[in-house]
């Protein structure tokens, strides 16, 4: 039984992680700014699922608010921090760059500072498969070069990894970054393709199929992601040598990066076919070229996560989409 801070607790993954950790008997303090990037009522509905739990407390806070975050860490003796709050979305970063600077850069520094001053045992934070950009080598490995992001969102996530490494090096804070690969499932984000597709198909409206349906994504069901996160929390990184440069110049640091994905990329056109079967309706498709900031493929090499914590994604695409569609019909009364 430990006390865990979960940032972004009203978000898709944060909500599911909080549920899991509460079920395990942990005390959770969740924070979220409940911003209007997407439907706030969905965020509040997620919170209603967990806020009656005796070991859960929620504060509406913005991680970019330095003073409030510093006070939060001072007032509460957290054992672990799971940092999932961020401004999400690749395409939105083209329109609203400052939202990403405030949340993903300023906010992350505030979390790192809180961890530094309160001697947190382990900071686990969300990175993204987007850091790989247009990586040609597949599957994507954490050993691959990630110096060429193709969106501001991706650049902020790469920056988070560098910032975490710096704090691990300077202050000995154990940090683990998780590069998420296209997470989907019940209570998901309405801006995600599978959510938009489901809504449009049920309403018999056209769906936008980018890259003419030929792009591939390593779609990962949320329960598999959450199980991986729960296992990583207790796998606190020890000081270790990252590579020769760091060994020669900086010594070793308690820092780790993992891919967390399904390890099975699926072509978008096939994904839509499975979704159509689950809904029982055909989509009206509008085929479009690749969008700025998008990449043709994501594919996670998760061997290291399997080796270190026994991570094993086991939810098939059909099973995962059936669960999502059932939730969607129930929640939106279709």
Residues in the chain: 334
What gap in Å lies between CA 122 and CA 329, rounded to an integer? 38
Say yes or no to pLDDT of 244 above 50. no
Say yes or no to pLDDT of 89 above 90. no
* 89 compared with 120, residue with greater pLDDT: 120
Say yes or no to pLDDT of 214 above 70. yes
Q: Per mean pLDDT, which range of 30-34, 93-97, 117-121 is the poorest?
A: 93-97
Q: Confirm if 235 and 80 have CB atoms less than 8 A apart.
A: no
Out of 38, 100, 153, 184, which one is annotated catalytic? 153
Say yes or no to pLDDT of 323 above 60. yes
**Mean of the per-residue pLDDT values for the chain?**
94
Say yes or no to pLDDT of 245 above 60. no
Q: Per mean pLDDT, which range of 66-70, 106-110, 236-240 is the poorest?
A: 236-240
153 is catalytic: yes
Exposed, middle or buried by CB within 10 Å (0-12, 13-18, 19+), for 238? exposed
What gap in Å lies between CA 255 and CA 306, rounded to an integer? 18
SS3 186: coil
Strands 266-267 and 216-217, by their bridges, are antiparallel
pLDDT classification of 240: cutoffs 50, 70, 90:
low
How confident is the model at residue 249, as a pLDDT?
44
What gap in Å lies between CA 53 and CA 36, rounded to an integer? 26
Say yes or no to pLDDT of 211 above 90. yes
pLDDT classification of 219: cutoffs 50, 70, 90:
very high
Strand partners, 122: 80
CA dihedral 166, 254, 25, 88 (to 10 degrees): 40
pLDDT classification of 130: cutoffs 50, 70, 90:
very high
How confident is the model at residue 207, as a pLDDT?
97
Say yes or no to pLDDT of 123 above 90. yes
Q: 30-61, pLDDT tens digit by residue?
A: 999 999 999 999 999 999 999 999 999 999 99
Say yes or no to pLDDT of 162 above 50. yes
Strands 80-83 and 255-260, by their bridges, are unpaired
């Amino acid at each position: 039984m430990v006390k865990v801070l979960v940032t972004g607790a009203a978000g898709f993954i944060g909500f599911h992680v909080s549920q899991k950790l509460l079920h395990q008997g942990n005390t959770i303090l969740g924070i979220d700014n409940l911003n209007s990037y997407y439907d706030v009522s969905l965020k509040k509905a997620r919170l209603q699922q967990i806020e009656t739990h005796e070991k859960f407390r929620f504060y509406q806070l913005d991680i970019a608010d330095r003073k409030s975050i510093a006070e939060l860490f001072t007032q509460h003796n957290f054992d672990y921090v799971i940092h999932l709050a961020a401004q999400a979305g690749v395409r939105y970063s083209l329109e609203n760059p400052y939202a990403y600077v405030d949340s993903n850069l300023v906010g992350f520094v505030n979390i790192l500072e809180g961890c530094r001053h309160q001697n947190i045992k382990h900071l686990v934070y969300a990175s993204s498969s987007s850091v790989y950009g247009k990586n040609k080598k597949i599957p994507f490995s954490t050993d691959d070069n990630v110096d060429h992001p193709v969106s501001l969102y991706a650049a902020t996530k790469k920056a988070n990894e560098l910032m975490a490494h710096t704090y691990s090096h300077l202050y000995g804070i154990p940090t683990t970054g998780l590069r998420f690969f296209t997470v989907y499932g019940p209570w998901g984000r309405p801006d995600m393709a599978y959510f938009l597709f489901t809504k449009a198909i049920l309403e018999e409206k056209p769906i936008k199929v980018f890259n003419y349906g030929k792009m591939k994504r390593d779609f990962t069901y949320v329960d598999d992601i959450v199980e991986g996160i729960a296992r990583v929390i207790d796998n606190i990184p020890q000081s270790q040598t990252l590579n020769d440069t760091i060994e020669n110049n900086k010594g070793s640091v308690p820092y780790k990066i993992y891919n967390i994905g399904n390890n099975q990329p699926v072509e978008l056109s096939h994904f839509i076919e499975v979704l159509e079967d689950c809904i029982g309706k055909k989509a009206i498709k509008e085929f479009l070229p690749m969008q700025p900031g998008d990449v043709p493929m994501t594919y996670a090499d998760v061997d290291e996560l399997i080796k270190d914590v026994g991570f094993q994604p086991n939810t098939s695409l059909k099973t995962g989409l059936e669960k999502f569609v059932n939730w969607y019909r129930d929640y939106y009364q279709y």
